[in-house]
């Protein structure tokens, strides 16, 4: 019953696509359990680079069944264009399964996301503008549209009208925008229905049966721990639960079924959008990390904010996710620095603090306390085992492991599929 959760241990963009893809060959199901097309995975297969936003990265592994779980929000137009883009490149997508309970990102959810951000001005969250937050808000408000609603026209009509009732008041009276016609939305959604139908399935039943049959199921988190709606840097977060518990609710499997929780951890830190980030760099080191690490959003094309590794964050991720392992990514990006600072604790109002403060105010005031580790200049991209790494790189990894509270079981030393050092097998 190997059920693995693979999730971001920081603010997302840790290189999850590479990790998922590495396991892809031996995994029977890859399941997305939250988020939507706000995620961005870059997967490199041979000389081909694939940017996926909504689809699970298992879609690129022929033996694997990709699953979009009930906890995901699905923009049907993005879904269909991502599928046809892959088909044009010869990728077979016919095995995809989509939960009938997944919620649909409607055109009005995208509109509301954009106008709300504009209205917030300086206080904006810096969302991806894809309608994610408003779709989850509709779900919680019980006015959401689910994939299964596409197959009952009269229910769909009623639900869209109900959802638009209040929204049109807000759009016209508060935001000074035009009202959205329910009929048009219904027509657009119905246009997607038959194209999506072949994929719609009872994914909860299928996944639980797969686990009974000893299949390997990988739950792939989008975004990252610090963007979690409950455990992240609220309100500068996404509107779902990327943390490990989200895999259970977002896919319909019980916590007793999960055997391993792997946190993807970048060898330094990045974040996009607004919100606190204690180790953020505003100097040439930050610029160099951005340039060498290619730190530009796959989904939004925005430059990522960059900073040194933060062990306080990593320890927090270990705790809230119950991590059993880390996959350390992008170690090669740090090659060439004579010394590498690592944040080991914070100073908050003159006091040293070892753990992430629960108070938002304290976290906003947190100043990083750095320890400096010696760097390395040798190219590490062809390293195949831990002992191939220069001594200082080995020590950097060991130091991070000790500070972060879980074993580092794999290390990414380059973007390619085979540029990974495996220390402990994940399966």
231 tagged catalytic = no
Is position 332 annotated in a ligand binding site? Answer: yes
Smallest separation, CB 200 to ligand IMP (Å): 24
**CA-CA distance, 31 to 13, in Å (whole number)?**
18
**CA-CA distance, 164 to 181, in Å (whole number)?**
8
Residue whose C-beta lies closest to ligand IMP: 273
Nearer to ligand IMP, 317 or 389 (CB): 317
Nearer to ligand IMP, 53 or 315 (CB): 53
283 tagged catalytic = no
13 tagged catalytic = yes
Partners of 347 in the β-ladder: 352, 367
Is position 413 annotated in a ligand binding site? Answer: yes
Smallest separation, CB 233 to ligand IMP (Å): 9
Task: Note whether 267 and 334 are within 8 A (CB).
Answer: yes
User: Residues interacting with ligand IMP, by CB under 6 A?
Assistant: 11-13, 38-40, 125-128, 130, 132-133, 222-223, 227, 236, 238-239, 272-273
Q: Residue 350: what are its φ and ψ, rounded to 5°?
A: 85, -5
Of residues 41, 159, 167, 231, which has the active-site annotation? 41
Non-local CB neighbours of 233 within 8 Å, separated by 6+ positions: 226, 227, 275, 276, 360, 363
Nearer to ligand IMP, 13 or 28 (CB): 13
Q: How far from 367 is each of 191, 197, 346, 362, 427, CA to CA, in Å? A: 52, 52, 5, 10, 39
Smallest separation, CB 213 to ligand IMP (Å): 32
Q: Which two tokens stand for residue 164?
A: 């638009």
Nearer to ligand IMP, 129 or 322 (CB): 129
Cβ count near 273 (within 10 Å): 20
Exposure string of 398-423, with b = 16+ CB inside 10 Å and e = fewer, is ebbbebbbbebbbbbbbbeeebbbeb
Cβ count near 205 (within 10 Å): 10
Nearer to ligand IMP, 77 or 394 (CB): 77
Is position 222 annotated in a ligand binding site? Answer: no
Is position 152 annotated in a ligand binding site? Answer: no
Name residue, tokens 């938002």.
360
Smallest separation, CB 50 to ligand IMP (Å): 15
Smallest separation, CB 80 to ligand IMP (Å): 20
Active-site residue list: 13, 41, 139
Q: Which residues are annotated as a binding site for IMP?
A: 13-16, 38-41, 128, 142, 223, 238, 302
Q: Which residues are annotated as a binding site for GTP?
A: 12-18, 40-42, 304, 330-332, 412-414
Q: Which residues are annotated as a binding site for substrate?
A: 298-304
């Amino acid at each position: 019953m190997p059920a693995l959760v693979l999730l971001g241990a920081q603010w997302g963009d840790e290189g999850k696509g590479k990790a998922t893809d590495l396991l892809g060959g031996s995994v029977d199901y890859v399941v997305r359990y939250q988020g939507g097309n706000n995620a961005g995975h870059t997967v490199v297969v041979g000389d081909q680079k694939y940017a996926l936003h909504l689809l699970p990265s298992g879609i690129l592994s022929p033996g694997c069944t990709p699953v979009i779980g009930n906890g995901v929000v699905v923009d049907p137009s993005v879904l269909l264009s991502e599928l046809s883009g892959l088909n044009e490149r010869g990728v077979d997508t016919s095995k995809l399964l989509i939960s009938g309970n997944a919620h649909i990102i409607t055109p009005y959810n995208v509109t509301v996301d954009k106008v709300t951000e504009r209205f917030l001005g300086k206080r904006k969250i810096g969302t991806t503008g894809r309608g994610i937050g408003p779709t989850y808000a509709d779900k919680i408000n019980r006015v959401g549209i689910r994939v299964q609603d596409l197959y009952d026209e009269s229910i769909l009509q009623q639900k869209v009208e109900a959802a638009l009732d209040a929204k049109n008041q807000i759009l016209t009276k508060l935001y000074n925008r035009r009202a959205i016609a329910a009929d048009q939305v219904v027509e657009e959604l119905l246009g997607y229905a038959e194209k999506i139908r072949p994929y719609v399935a009872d994914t909860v039943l299928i996944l639980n049966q797969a686990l009974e049959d000893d299949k390997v199921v990988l739950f792939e988190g989008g975004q990252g721990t610090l963007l979690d709606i409950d455990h992240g840097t609220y309100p500068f977060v996404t509107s779902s639960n990327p943390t490990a518990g989200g895999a259970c609710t977002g896919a319909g499997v019980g916590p007793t079924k999960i055997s391993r929780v792997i946190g993807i951890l970048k060898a330094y830190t990045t974040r996009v959008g607004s919100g606190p980030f204690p180790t953020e760099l505003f100097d040439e080191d930050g610029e160099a990390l951005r340039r060498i690490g290619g730190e530009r959003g796959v989904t939004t094309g925005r430059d990522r904010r960059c900073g040194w590794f933060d062990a306080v964050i990593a320890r927090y991720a270990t705790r809230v996710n119950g991590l059993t392992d880390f996959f350390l990514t992008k170690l090669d990006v740090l090659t060439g620095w004579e010394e590498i600072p690592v944040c080991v604790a914070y100073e908050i109002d003159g006091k040293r603090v070892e753990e992430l403060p629960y108070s938002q105010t304290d976290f906003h005031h947190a100043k990083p306390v750095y320890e400096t580790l010696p760097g390395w200049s040798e190219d590490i991209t062809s390293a195949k085992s831990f002992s191939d790494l220069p001594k200082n790189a080995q020590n950097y990894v060991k130091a991070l492991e000790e500070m972060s509270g879980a074993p580092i079981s794999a290390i990414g030393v380059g973007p390619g599929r085979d540029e990974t050092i495996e220390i402990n097998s994940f399966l």
